[in-house]
Amino acid sequence: MDLLNTLVDKGLRRELPTREEALAVLATSDDDLLDVVAAAGKVRRHWFGRRVKLNYLVNLKSGLCPEDCSYCSQRLGSKADILKYTWLKPDDASKAAAAGLAGGAKRVCLVASGRGPTDRDVDRVSDTIKAIKEQNEGVEVCACLGLLSDGQAERLREAGADAYNHNLNTSESTYGDITTTHTYADRVDTVNKAHAAGLSACSGLIAGMGESDEDLVDVVYSLRELDPDSVPVNFLIPFEGTPLAKEWNLTPQRCLRILAMVRFVCPDVEVRIAGGREVHLRTMQPLALHLANSIFLGDYLTSEGQAGKADLEMIADAGFEVEGAGEVTLPEHRVTAGTGAGVCGSHEDAGCGSHEGAGCGSAESAGCGSHEGAGVCGSAAAPVAETKAAGEPRTDLVAVRRRGAGTDLAPNA
């Protein structure tokens, strides 16, 4: 296809596709799906080879969030039967992180529910970051605590944080339909604060909330302008007890087309398959590794994920390799000395857009789940009891996390 040849050429040059080209990727047929994956795979391999970065979530504080994000199991008014607990102590959080690092993760994502941290909360998280760093040489730490106030990003950076996550989630035009207790501009402000403090920015989206192709392209183009170093792509888990519980709009094929579009628009950033991969990609997860170069290992915030051992086997069987702790994730032109432990991109010469004037927030909602995204992420590794028709809800693949952080049971890593 001429379209795919054009997109590969642009991806290798870090050139922005047109909106029409991005929409055309989402509109391709299932008959052309493998061609789309192969084309986007060329761009992925050019910038990242066959490496897969592993990330591990630690939910520091679960549930009881005052925000009303429709996709979130921890939201105000949620009826989801999730774990609820207050702040983990630094030593407990460090032990939880150690399980993921032992499983091969090189980045730990520290997440807490809530609108945003108080200064006392920042002190708590800073102590946790220091504990993790002291006990695990070379580990990357990303914080995801919601909306930041002035000076908080700098304090997290001083404590040793490498990155901050706050997802844009959906297009600006539809944001008010998803959340009313804060604004799109609030998210912009938080990511700008993280950038200004020298933290590596992580910002992504949630697909499957009933959005149009145009909405998906809008949010990804906004992310390109924002210029994060990593873009988590979450696929909505319609958690029972949340307003979006009936939104089962995704197929494995559509998920792959979305990931391909993101790769073409942001060719040289860390594209991470985050929450919902097990639920919506299912047996096609290995194909997604040809598009994304990063995943979460094991469980998510409030829901269970695929077994960590199965993740590692999938990576190996698909012909990929786990990225080592000593390897730099991003291409050389995106690496800025002294920022993000050498893993974050340059915002002056970045290939996924310029940070100047950018305006969108992030919260690894669902994936490195923000206070708001927690709970949509993840899926169960439960066995499939029966064959389901294409497009039918797969509630059999959704299970509330009952192990790991906040429990006495061993984590899945």
98 to 104, 134, 137, 292, 373: CA distances (angstroms): 10, 12, 11, 25, 23
Q: What is the pLDDT of residue 389?
A: 62
Expressed in angstroms, the distance from the first to the final Cα of the chain is 41
Q: Which residues are catalytic?
A: 65, 69, 72, 109, 142, 202, 272
Instruction: For 78-95, give one letter per residue: b (16+ CB within 10 A) or e.
Output: bebebbeeebbebebbbb
Helix (H), strand (E) counts: the chain? 13, 10
Choose the most confident range, by mean pLDDT, from 77-81, 303-307, 342-346.
303-307
Q: What is the pLDDT of residue 386?
A: 53
List pLDDT tens digits, range 285-304: 999 999 999 999 988 777 67
Q: Percentage of residues in the chain with pLDDT exceeding 70?
A: 85
Which residue ranges are tagged as binding site for [4Fe-4S] cluster?
A: 65, 69, 72
The pLDDT mean for the chain works out to 86
Which residue ranges are tagged as binding site?
A: 65, 69, 72, 109, 142, 202, 272
Q: Which comes out higher in pLDDT, residue 342 or 401?
A: 401
Q: What is the pLDDT of residue 368?
A: 38
Tokens 């800025």 — which residue? Answer: 336
List pLDDT tens digits, range 83-111: 788 899 999 999 999 999 999 999 999 99
Q: What is the pLDDT of residue 105?
A: 96
Q: What is the pLDDT of residue 103?
A: 93
Which residue ranges are tagged as binding site for [2Fe-2S] cluster?
A: 109, 142, 202, 272
Dist. CA 166–CA 362, nearest whole Å: 2
| Residue 39 pLDDT grade (very low, low, confident, very high; cuts 50, 70, 90) | very high
Question: 312-318 — which CB contacts under 8 Å span 24+ positions?
Answer: 312/103, 312/104, 314/285, 314/286, 314/289, 315/52, 315/289, 317/286, 318/286, 318/289, 318/290
List pLDDT tens digits, range 335-374: 863 444 334 333 333 333 333 332 322 333 343 334 333 3
Mean pLDDT in residue range 19-32? 98
CATH 3.40.228.10 fits 40-325+364-397, yes or no: no
Bridge-partner residues for 270, per DSSP?
230
Mean pLDDT in residue range 196-209? 96
